């Protein structure tokens, strides 16, 4: 009842979402004081000028998704409405109104793929709320009807609202979209708005708990940007409209998750792109929210680099870009300094560790390690995998995902998580093409799980250890991997594998974009762009150094030009434990490490 009373109390006070009436003045003053923010503001206005002559989006579905149209509508309406509120120029109002009326006339917003409805609802909600006082009564009625009947009401249909039980991005995005719609029409539909917001407050925590305990995000970098950004939009809208986020931002791990997002980016802006994630860092409005909430400008160090190194006009493809200027209202990027810590550990459903030798040097060494489980949403069979940057290049890489529609249109069941799911036969998704281990050619165990068991954060002797045994259950008696970044110039991967009651063949693989040359039975040279790194292999059992092609095995697989796999195979006799050292450096001097039991590390609790 208290919530409904609050909603009724809003009256017809618009705008109320994210940026209240009259707050434009302070925002513009801050924009003028920060050259980085001013460049973004100017780019938005230039893009809105371009959009004036562009036809509205049409209802053209791709496969089972209308999502690209919903996203484009959100991008256009958010930026056009921002342009109108900050300049007062009617051309932006009229163009935003035209866009919204066009999508309001769609037959539906594709509720069978409810992300499409969520983003379209958010788009229309922002435009309706921000432009409310200058829209005609007829337009307001049309848009309000669409928000209710093509958006919010459909989220109560059990055919479409499975997202309420999800522990991943669908929950965050869909609850955010519905809440924006509810807040926009609250004075007209207080009961519906109250039901929608109360439901969100009880269900969105299911997708926030996995951020604990340290802020690691289970679905990886790309879906952090998606799920977390919409979660932050949700919290920000509640706080601005109702004066509270109901304590949700204090969910354990949530405010720490900006550390995950910043540390996952390597020295050249290339991400540790495990799972279904792209590899390039970009503009991230949500990071400005976290920097403000944590009172920590260093969280924007990588964002400052992105803005410095890329033309501002490239950022207008980010559909929630105006939110950056709203959340950055009390920030100045000139004050952003490099983080002090060079190592970051996160446990949770997808444990990770990131190590680097410098935040400022683009030639720094960066290592990202991934544990976890293939059972997590959008995961690959990549437990134990890593990426490695040095000398301004990526030497150990991850393919990331394949375009979903390219697989779905061929009838591939892409999102299964059982051991026999078709997902694992997709070339890029199984352990055979990740920087990890394969035993007797088998896939990793989907139900297995690996955490970060121990680590050292000494800058001259950074190390992590992960027990991968459950990931290889039934294939090996025990499997452990340790990675060390030593003296700021060597990276050593130490694997210890115990065979079961029969001999096993271990395959160690590295995926690389470099040219590979096997020099002898223990040394490989990797070369790219005139630079060379050396791999040195060491073990007591014989190793057969090999390369493997990355040409796909099925006609539905995406091509992988300019890449190959290198590593070794080794026979491990029954009931014996064997250790394997692989060192990376730009010198031809090998570096070895002691057995994992002798490493000086802190144990996880």
What is the sign of the dihedral through the CA atoms of 258, 259, 265 and 271? negative
Look at phi and psi of residue 7 and say left if phi exceeds 0, alpha if psi is from -120 to 50, else beta. Answer: alpha
CB-based contact 176:125 (threshold 8 Å): no
Nearest-angstrom CA–CA distance, 230 and 411:
30
Is a pLDDT exceeding 90 seen at residue 132? yes
Over the range 590-604, which residues count as b (16 or more CB within 10 Å of their CB) and which as e? bbebeebeebebeee
Give the closest residue to 462 by CA, choosing from 386, 527, 514. 386
pLDDT in the model for residue 116? 98
Helix (H) or strand (E) holding 527: strand 523-528
pLDDT in the model for residue 49? 98
Read off the tokens for 537.
């292999």
Peptide bond just before 213 cis, omega within 30 deg: yes
pLDDT in the model for residue 334? 84
Beta-sheet strand order (sheet of 504-512)? 437-439, 504-512, 564-572, 544-548
pLDDT in the model for residue 181? 98
> Most distant CA pair in the chain: distance in Å?
80
Q: What is the assigned CATH class of domain 343-590? A: mainly beta
pLDDT in the model for residue 26? 95
Helix (H) or strand (E) holding 77: helix 67-87
CATH 2.70.98.70 region(s) of the chain?
A: 343-590
Q: Please state, rounded to an integer, the average pLDDT across all residues of the chain.
A: 96
pLDDT in the model for residue 2? 82
CB-based contact 231:11 (threshold 8 Å): no
Nearest-angstrom CA–CA distance, 166 and 363:
40
Q: What is the mean pLDDT of residues 462-475?
A: 98
pLDDT in the model for residue 477? 98
CB-based contact 512:563 (threshold 8 Å): yes
Per-residue pLDDT band for 567 (boundaries 50, 70, 90) equals very high
pLDDT in the model for residue 30? 94
Nearest-angstrom CA–CA distance, 495 and 162:
41
Q: What is the mean pLDDT of residues 268-275?
A: 97
Tens digits of per-residue pLDDT, 135-152? 999 999 999 999 999 999
CB-based contact 78:125 (threshold 8 Å): no
Nearest-angstrom CA–CA distance, 481 and 382:
13
Peptide bond just before 257 cis, omega within 30 deg: no
Nearest-angstrom CA–CA distance, 225 and 261:
8
Helix (H) or strand (E) holding 84: helix 67-87
For 396, 477, 488, 531, 562, the CA distances from 516, given in Å and listed in that order, are 12, 32, 24, 12, 11
CATH number of the structural domain 25-335: 1.50.10.100
Beta-sheet strand order (sheet of 490-498)? 515-520, 523-528, 531-539, 577-585, 490-498, 478-486, 461-467, 454-458, 602-603
Read off the tokens for 21.
């009436």
Nearest-angstrom CA–CA distance, 146 and 95:
18
pLDDT in the model for residue 420? 96
What is the sign of the dihedral through the CA atoms of 147, 152, 158 and 162? positive
Q: Which residues contact 252 (CB under 8 A, 6 or more apart)?
A: 209, 211, 212, 213
Is a pLDDT exceeding 70 seen at residue 592? yes
Nearest-angstrom CA–CA distance, 262 and 429:
25
CATH 1.50.10.100 region(s) of the chain?
A: 25-335
Give the closest residue to 435 by CA, choosing from 339, 503, 513, 521. 513
Nearest-angstrom CA–CA distance, 356 and 493:
15
Report residue 189: phi and psi, to 5°. Answer: -135, 65
Q: What is the mean pLDDT of residues 558-578?
A: 98
Q: What is the mean pLDDT of residues 184-198?
A: 95
CB-based contact 532:582 (threshold 8 Å): no
Give the closest residue to 433 by CA, choosing from 552, 556, 571. 552
Q: At what angle do helices 90-104 and 137-146 cross, to 10 degrees?
A: 40
Which range of 86-100, 333-347, 582-596 scores highest in mean pLDDT? It is 86-100
For 296, 335, 370, the CA distances from 495, given in Å and listed in that order, are 38, 43, 15
How many CB atoms are located within 10 Å of the residue 96 CB? 28
Per-residue pLDDT band for 532 (boundaries 50, 70, 90) equals very high
Nearest-angstrom CA–CA distance, 507 and 441:
8
Tens digits of per-residue pLDDT, 273-323? 999 999 999 999 999 999 999 999 999 999 999 999 999 999 999 999 999
Nearest-angstrom CA–CA distance, 469 and 434:
17
pLDDT in the model for residue 1? 55
């Amino acid at each position: 009842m208290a919530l409904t009373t609050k909603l009724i109390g809003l009256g017809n006070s618009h705008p109320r979402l994210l940026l209240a009436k009259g707050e434009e003045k302070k925002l513009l003053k801050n924009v003028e004081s920060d050259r980085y923010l001013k460049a973004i503001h100017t780019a938005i206005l230039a893009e809105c000028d371009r959009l004036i002559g562009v036809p509205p989006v049409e209802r053209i579905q791709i496969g089972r998704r209308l999502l690209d149209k919903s996203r484009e509508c959100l991008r256009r309406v958010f930026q056009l409405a921002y342009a109108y509120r900050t300049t007062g120029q009617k051309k932006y109002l009229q163009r935003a109104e035209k866009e919204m009326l066009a999508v309001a006339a769609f037959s539906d917003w594709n509720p069978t793929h409810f992300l499409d409805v969520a983003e379209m609802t958010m788009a229309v909600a922002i435009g309706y709320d921000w432009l409310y006082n200058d829209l005609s009564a007829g337009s307001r009625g049309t848009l309000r009807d669409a928000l209710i009947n093509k958006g919010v009401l459909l989220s109560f249909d059990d055919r479409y609202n499975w997202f309420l039980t999800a522990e991943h991005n669908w929950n965050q995005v869909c609850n955010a979209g519905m809440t924006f719609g509810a807040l926009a029409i609250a004075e007209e539909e207080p009961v519906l708005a109250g039901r929608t917001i109360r439901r969100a407050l009880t269900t969105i925590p299911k997708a926030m708990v996995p951020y604990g305990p340290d802020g690691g995000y289970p679905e990886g970098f790309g879906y952090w940007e998606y799920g977390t950004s919409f979660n932050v939009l949700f919290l920000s809208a509640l706080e601005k409209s109702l004066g509270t986020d109901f304590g949700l931002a204090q969910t354990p791990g949530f405010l720490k998750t900006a550390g995950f997002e910043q540390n996952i980016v390597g020295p050249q802006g290339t991400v540790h792109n495990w799972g279904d994630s792209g590899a390039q860092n970009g503009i991230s409005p949500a990071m400005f929210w976290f920097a403000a909430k944590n009172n920590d400008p260093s969280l924007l160090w990588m964002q400052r680099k992105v803005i410095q190194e890329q033309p501002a006009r490239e950022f207008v493809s980010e559909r929630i870009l105006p939110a950056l200027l709203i959340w950055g209202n009390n920030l100045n990027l000139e004050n952003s300094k490099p983080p002090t810590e060079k190592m970051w550990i996160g446990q949770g459903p997808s444990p990770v560790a990131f190590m680097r030798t410098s935040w400022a040097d683009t030639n720094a060494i960066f290592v990202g390690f991934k544990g976890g489980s293939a059972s997590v949403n959008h995961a690959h069979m990549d437990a134990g995998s890593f990426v490695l940057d040095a000398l301004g290049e990526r030497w150990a890489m991850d393919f990331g995902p394949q375009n979903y529609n390219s697989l779905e249109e061929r009838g591939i069941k892409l999102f299964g998580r059982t051991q026999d799911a078709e997902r694992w036969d997709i070339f890029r998704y199984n352990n055979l093409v990740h920087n990890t281990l394969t035993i007797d050619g088998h896939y990793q165990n989907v139900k297995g799980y690996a955490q970060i068991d121990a680590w050292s954060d000494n800058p001259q002797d950074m190390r992590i250890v992960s027990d991968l045994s459950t990931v290889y259950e039934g294939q090996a008696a025990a499997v452990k991997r340790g990675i060390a970044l030593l003296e700021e110039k060597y990276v050593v991967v130490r694997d210890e594998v115990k065979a079961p009651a029969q001999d096993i063949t271990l395959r160690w693989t590295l995926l690389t974009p470099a040219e590979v040359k096997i020099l002898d039975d223990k040394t490989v040279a990797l070369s790219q762009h005139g630079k060379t790194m050396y791999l040195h292999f060491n073990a007591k059992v014989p190793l057969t150094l090999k390369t493997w092609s990355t040409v796909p095995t099925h006609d539905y697989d995406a091509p992988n030009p300019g890449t190959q796999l290198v590593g070794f195979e080794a026979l491990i006799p029954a009931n014996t434990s064997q250790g394997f050292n692989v060192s990376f450096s730009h010198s031809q001097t090998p570096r070895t490490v002691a057995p994992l039991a002798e490493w000086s590390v802190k144990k996880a609790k």
